[in-house]
Amino acid sequence: MTTTDWDDAAGSFDDEPDHGLLDPVVRDAWARRMETWLPSSRSEVLDLGCGTGSLALLAAGQGHRVTAVDRSGRMAERARAKLAGTGAEVLVGDAARPPVGGQRFDVVLARHVVWLLPDPAAALGHWFSLLRPGGRLVLVEGVWGGTGLSAARLTALLTPFTERIHHEPLSGDSRLWGKEVDDERYALVARAVPAHRHREVVDVHLILRRGPEVLLARRAGTGYADGLLHAPSGHAEDGEDVREAMVREAAEEIGVVLDPDELRVALVMQHRGPGGNPRMGWFFEAEYDPERPPRNAEPEKCSGIGWYRLDALPDDMVAYCRAGLDGYRAEERFLIHWHEDGDTVAHAPGGVDRAVPLPVSATPTGRVHHIEVWVPDLARAEKDWGWLLEELGHIPYQRWAHGRSWRRGDGYVVVEQSPDGTGATHDRRRPGVNHLAFHVRDRAALDDLVARAPAHGWRLLFPDRHPYAGGSGHYAAYLENAAGYEVELVAP
C-alpha cells in the first residue's frame, strides 16, 4: 500500500484538522516541532508522501529549500497550489524510490509513510543514500487502533543504517492532534552513518545561565556516567560546525531552540576519559529566556534537570563537565583535562585536579596584572574580601603569613596585612585610590549580591539613590566594609 492508497481508500490524513494543519494552534505546534527536527541553517529538505504539502509548507516557511514527492497526482496538484511562491518543487512518484536522480539532501522527511511501504527496510536504506554527510531522516509514525508501526519496530529497522536515533514521544502533546490521544505517536530523527570519522570526536556543551545559576541534567539509561549531573551536551556530526551542533543538541535535550547568535564561546577543552580516546570539547554560554523554559526532552536518557549555583556546584557530577565549569568560572579559555586510566568518570572532591590551563598569547601591554590592597586585619579581610571576590568568580590563588590572593583569568587581587602598614583604617576620601569596581553579569545577580552582602561584612552606600547612585543610566551598587574600603559592582 502507498500513501496514495491510504488517501483514496480511507480518506486523506490531510482532510482531518490534525493532519491538514488547518487549526492555527495545531499548525503552530507542528511548526515548533519542525524547528527542532530540521537544521537551524538553510537546508535541502525532501518531503516524501507529502500529501497536500502541509509539512513541506512549514519547512519552506522556515527558510528551507523543499522538494516534495507524492504518488497521487491529485495530492501533488494540491501541494503545488499550497506551496506556490515558496520555490518548492513538487514531483509525482513513489515515496520508496523518489524520482530525484542524483540529488542529495540534508533532510529526508516522511510522516505516516513508512508503515504503508511493502518493504520499509529497503526504502529506509535508499533514503539514507539520498542524504549528504551528516544528514538526517525525520520520521513521524505511530500505532492507531492496532495498525501502524511502533517506535521499537522502526528503531530496529533503522539500526543497520545509523548509530544515532533520537526518539521523541508525541502522544502527550494534544496541540499536535487537535485533541487528546492515548495511542502511540512519535518522531524519530536518525543520523546518517558518516563515511569517515574524525580521529578526535568533537563535543559541545551548553552553559545555560540564569543569573548565578547554571542548568544541569542527570544522566540515566545511557550506559555512561548514569546518575551523574552534566550540562546539556553531545557530539558534533559530520557536516556540522560546532554552533550548529550546539543548537541541535539544545533542542533535542532540553527543548530550547537557540539562535546561533545567542551562543558565546566560553571555553575549549581537550579531554581524555579513563581508558578512552581524546576528544575536543567546546563549551558555549547562553542566557536563560523565560519565554523558552527548558524541559527534559529526552526522559529516556535523563532523569531530570535543575538549576545549580555556579559557585556551589554539586559533587555528583561528571568530572569532565565539572572541570569545564570550574575553568569557565575562573575565566580560563583553554584547558587540557587528561584522565589517568585508574581515575573515575565522576568528579572526585579533594582528588587530583587533572585540569591544566593553557596560556593564551602574550598579555597585551598595559593590562592590569594584579591589585594589592593593604588591610588592617587580615582575618576579617579574608572573610569579607574573600566572600565578595569568590562571588564575582575569582578563585583562591596564593596564601602566605600576611596575605591572601584571588585570581580571575591572568589577573589577581591581593589583600595583605603588611608589617610596614600605618594606620588602622582606610579613608577613601583621602588622596589615593577611592574604590575598586567590578563587572557583574546582570541586574539580577547584582541585586542578589546586595541582598547577601551585609551578612558578609559589607554595607550598601547611598541607599537613597540605589541602584542609580552613579547616574540614571548606570545600574550599580556601592558597598563599604568595616575597614572603610569601597567597591562598586556594575551590571549591564
Asked whether the beta carbons of 422 and 383 are under 8 A apart, the reply is no
Separation between Cα atoms, residue 152 and residue 144, nearest integer Å: 15
**Cell digits of residue 426:** 582606610
pLDDT at 4: 38
Distance in angstroms (rounded) separating the CA atoms of residues 148 and 421: 83
Is the Cβ–Cβ distance between 313 and 325 less than 8 Å? yes
**pLDDT of 242 higher than 50:** yes
Express each pLDDT in 23-81 by its tens digit. 889 999 999 999 999 998 899 999 999 999 999 999 999 999 999 999 999 999 999 99
Lowest mean pLDDT of 350-364, 391-405, 443-457, name the range. 350-364
392: phi then psi, degrees, rounded to nearest 5: -85, 5
**208, 161 Cβ separation under 8 angstroms:** no
Alpha-carbon distances of 178 from 27, 32, 147, 361, 442, rounded to whole Å: 10, 15, 20, 58, 41
Residue 327 is inside which H or E element, if any?
Answer: helix 319-329
Coil/strand/helix, residue 128:
helix
191: which residues sit within 8 A by CB, 6+ positions away?
134, 135, 136, 162, 163, 164, 165, 237
CA distances (Å), origin 22, targets 14, 26, 27, 36 = 9, 7, 7, 21
Task: Supply the mean pLDDT for the chain.
Answer: 90
pLDDT of residue 34: 93
Residues 6 or more apart whose CB falls under 8 angstroms from that of 258 comprise 246, 247, 250, 251, 286
Q: Which of 155-164, 314-323, 388-397, 407-416 has the highest mean pLDDT?
A: 314-323
Cell of 8: 483514496
Please name each of the domains of the chain with its CATH number. Answer: 3-191 (3.40.50.150), 201-357 (3.90.79.10), 370-490 (3.10.180.10)
Asked whether residue 132 carries a pLDDT value surpassing 60, the answer given is yes
Give the per-residue pLDDT at 195: 44
pLDDT greater than 50 at residue 2? no
257, 247 in Cβ contact below 8 A? yes
409: left (phi over 0), alpha (psi -120 to 50) or beta: left
Work out the average pLDDT over 252-263.
Answer: 95
What's the pTM value of the predicted model, to 2 decimals? Answer: 0.46
Residue 390: burial class (beta carbons within 10 Å; 0-12, 13-18, 19+):
middle
